[in-house]
Amino acid sequence: MHMIHRASAAHPAHPAHPARPQRPRALPAMLWRAACATAALGAAFAAQAQAPALPAPETVALDKLGYMSSFPPEGAQRVDLSNSYKYPQLRWTVQHLRELQPTHNIRSGGAAPSALSADPRPLGGVTFDDDKGQPITVDQWFTRTYTDALVVLHKGRVVYERYDNQMKPHSPHLLFSVTKSFTGLMAAQLAHEGKIDPEALVTKYVPELADSAWGDMKVRDVMDMTGAVRFREVYTDPTTEIFGYSWSSGLLPRPPGYQGPTNVYDFLKTLKKEGEHGAGFVYRTVHSEVLGWIVSRATGKHWAELMSDNIWQKLGTEEDAHVMVDSVGTPLQGAGLNATARDLARFGEMLRLGGSYNGQKIFDKAVIDDTAKGGDREKFKMGGMAFRPGYSYRNQWWVLHNADGAYEAAGIHGQFIHVNPAAEMVVVKLSSHPVAGAGFTHPLTLKAWAALAQAVRR
């Protein structure tokens, strides 16, 4: 589902209620019927360009829904792999992923957590105009966007912190594509240290991909998602590659008779080139999986161990994190990370400070500066994300190119680490919005960022 970060605004030809797809002749009828049933799960994430009818937030609060609250849970209370990514069951899933999927732990270590001092301010009452020109407060924005946790730091102090929907300060939350930004920074740091050559071919590190789309692709094109690979994300068509990715990784139940890849790395080998490498930005989750493979090959370490040793323990996090893994332990390096809002705030503050935090250097400042400067804004336009005007993409981070030099990690259903250097502000927003893609909510998100930055400056 993380791959569904690619919002429908980038695919305006996809109707909100498409006609039933026809079975390709090459696909057996039994497999097609099972695939169509699985497609119903993916369809729940297809963020429509047209405004969908949304449930009132209070009607889909976990306290009201009562998922998994009886012993044992029965009927409509039960959340399992058959419905975990449907809505509103997704609201439970994002806080309880490791109860459904295998994960690899990311240790916080045994040291005392680094301090997050509090300086509460009444930011919930800050008012700004929404995307329709109507006044809205930060608290109303919180509710309207189905937010589970919101933490705002100013100069390293917690100035606003709020939780809802059974979320607690110690609760992990699935981050979807925010995961990519951790992978991107790992790779950028290794490039800075000379352990990865961004101008080298991917096959220098992963020769297994020689016959795939990455066979003649440079590492830099993977880091910035400018590599050309056929990876379609049509959530109503189980013959597109997004379903192959979901089945191979274990994100979705495999149809009866499935004979395809059973892990992410084997799936990547099947993908072919489509277009010219370096021509433009096109958002593809599979690039993050390849980049994570390169990182592990360059270091000889599992992604989760690198996270723990090089980032999580050095930050002085309060809680362990964890990452979803496939059947052979491959971490989903483009979408599987789960962590608490407060620990993510520490991470964002480390970035704002130039790579050091808690008395530890975690990234070189040159790596943070290179990321924050952004990528090619003209190439970014090829991605079809008009709802991100003026943005670019660098090292798997979204760069706003605004007057404050802001940049962010983002994931479907409303996950963000937003860093605003000029305002000395970090915002972590974890959500379970009914609409997956960013295109539906991002205009309002941009207004909220601006209002919060103005408020903390006062």
Structure tokens that stand for 402 in this block: 């605004």
For residues 409 and 176, the answer to whether their CB atoms sit within 8 Å is no
Cis peptide before 72 (omega within 30 of 0): yes
**Exposure string for 384-415, b = 16+ CB within 10 A, e = fewer:** bbebbeebbbbbbbbbbebebbbbbbbbbbbb
Q: Which of 130, 4, 74 is nearest to 66 (CA)?
A: 74
Q: Quick one: how far is CA 268 from the chain centroid?
A: 19
Query: Of 182, 47, 179, 173, which is closest to residue 431 (Cα–Cα)?
Result: 173
Q: Categorise residue 124: left if φ over 0, alpha if ψ from -120 to 50, beta otherwise.
A: alpha
**Per annotation, catalytic residue among 8, 84, 171, 177:** 177
| Range list of β-strands (E), 244-394 | 321-324, 337-339, 356-357, 360-361, 392-394
What CA–CA distances, in Å, run from 361 to 41, 284, 311, 367? 42, 31, 9, 12
Q: Mark whether 177 is an active-site residue.
A: yes
Are 362 and 310 within 8 A, CB to CB? yes
* Spatial distance between the Cα atoms of 387 and 225, rounded to a whole number of angstroms: 18
Pairwise CA distance, residues 415 & 174, whole Å:
9
* Residue type at position 329: G
What is the residue type of 224? Answer: D
**DSSP label at 325?**
B
Burial 156-174 (b: 16+ CB within 10 A, else e): bbbbbbbbbbbbeeebbbb
The full length of the chain comes to 458
- Extract the tokens encoding 300: 């000889």
At a CB cut-off of 8 Å and minimum separation 6, what does 126 contact? 137, 138, 451, 452, 455
What does the alpha-carbon distance between residue 52 and residue 437 come to, in Å, rounded to a whole number? 12
User: What CA–CA distance (Å, rounded) separates 417 from 182?
Assistant: 11
3-state secondary structure of 154: strand
Catalytic residues: 177
